[in-house]
Amino acid sequence: MKPIKLNIKTFSQNYPIIIGPNVIQNLASILNNNSINFNQCLLVIDEKVPKKKISKIIKSLKKKKISKFIFNSNEKNKNLNIVNKILQILLDKNFSRLDCVIAIGGGITGDVSGFAASLYKRGLKFINIPTTLLAQVDSSVGGKTGVNTKEGKNLIGSFYQPKIVISDTSFLKSLPRREIICGYGEILKHSLILSKNFFNYLNKNYFDILNLKSPFIERAICESCRIKKQVVETDEKEKGRRKILNFGHTFAHAYEATLGYSKKLNHGEAVILGIVTALKLSLEIKLISQKKYNQIINHIIKIKLPSNVKSYFSQKSLNKIISFMVKDKKNITKKINLILIKDIGTTVIDNEYSSLKIKKFLKRELVN
């Protein structure tokens, strides 16, 4: 199928998103057609990306001077140490501001690469080639970069937009089912926060999307990016409307941190759990109707997405979960700031709750 092109227009930078199968084979011409030039580049590569795909990228960039940094991309390695290693290569190779960093991997690879690019000489060209479904539908778009610390997730970072995002759907065929589920969590989130029509499309076509059938997977990626584009273009630095993109994430980030970013719970799985938790709170305070709640929950259960918090946590985890929620970067006061849902396609931002109230709510969830 013909590649899809979306254009993101933010205050700091405009850039295209290219979506389609096997588009990296034409990487050099795509960059040239979008006036992206450089003499040398650093490829920051997730070690799980198939070597054949990397070879195709290198072959397409054969006229450029190429350096590589390959690492084990996981939440524990999403830290300042990895960023420093990237910066050291840029310094050793004497990269200029006209050169670039190219991220080839999932959301973690894009986050550390983009953060390093934002720091080096106060800003280096950054190209993002996301290779996971989660990264293609969410983290590669919008310019958020950063790292984790022992205090919490993404507490150190910057807003730094890429020059281009190239989402080659052929990468997805190498992913395990668990990674596809993780990406679907963010796709579902986008439908819930802004588009009832997209949710209906997912309800009808989830089987083909999860099995990476064309054109269903390309449309799901495109619609997710289109929704995020609408939000980011009006609020690049998350001062207001962009907060809706965090639906489910305050719980999710706390869940991940509580488990020490272990393989027991991947980010996308945590997001789905966070969405379910936010849904239940929305129902408890009578923000969303039982009918709409059932419609969403039935979709999650039908696809067998992770939905039971008790499968991962006990009451012993409560204090730890709350301690991470209190430190969440979206909080302005001492209260916990949550994004809740009123209807499919309608969210409510800046819902502040005391840590005690959230603790009591979570305790009920872990008991019932």
Could you list the active site residues?
A: 122, 144, 186, 228, 238, 242, 246, 249, 253, 267
Residue 148 CA to residue 192 CA, distance in Å, equals 27
User: Cα angle at 212 between 211 and 218, to 5 degrees?
Assistant: 145
| Residue 58 CA: distances (Å) to CA of 19, 42, 87, 89, 129 | 20, 11, 21, 18, 13
68's tokens: 């590589």
Nearest to 347 by CA among 296, 287, 293, 297: 287
Instruction: Report phi then psi at 197, rounded to 5.
Output: -65, -40
**Per-residue exposure over 115-145, b if at least 16 CB sit within 10 Å of its own CB, e if not:** bbbbbbeeebbbbbbbbbbbbbbbbbbbbbb
Cα distance between residue 4 and residue 92, in whole Å: 38
Is residue 359 classed as helix, strand or coil in its secondary structure?
Answer: helix
Please tell me the total number of residues recorded for the chain in this structure: 368
